[in-house]
Amino acid sequence: NRFVAEFTGTSNIMEVEVVAYDPHTSILTSRFKGHQILLRSASKPTGKTVMILLRPEWIKIARDEKESLTNLFSGQVVSSTFMGFMVKYQVKAFEDQMFALEVQDPQEHEIKKERETLYFQFNIDRPVVITS
């Protein structure tokens, strides 16, 4: 549930609008501030919105907007902290939503600086629908 999700450390939590659910693939089509987000859900949500949790380490950096990836978005780097084995980012995306990202292999991508655009992506199996 949400309490446990917030208690276990940094998490990105969003309330998304339910658009459609395909029971054959278990894919939920949702919308967040005008952007489509696809995720896998074990069952069809009963309400018009659901809360989803996305851990910082589940988010991957994309090279640019031309990568044809599901759930590909962009944001502006607010801060980046090099930790040796990882880089922690705070990114402002979807107009005003702050996201925490943790890049485990910083050598694979150039470390972004404040105010730079960062493209990020997450797999449909990563966001978790949580209960209140």
Q: Tokens 């991508």 identify what position?
A: 109
Q: How many CB atoms lie within 10 A of CB 81?
A: 11
pLDDT for residue 2: 47
Could you tell me the pTM of the whole model?
0.86
> What confidence tier does 81 reach under pLDDT thresholds 50, 70, 90?
very high
User: In the predicted model, is pLDDT for residue 120 greater than 90?
Assistant: yes
The H or E element that residue 9 is part of is: none
- Cα(123)–Cα(46) distance, integer angstroms: 23
What is 2-130's CATH number, 1.10.3720.10, 3.50.50.60, 2.40.50.100, 2.115.10.20? 2.40.50.100
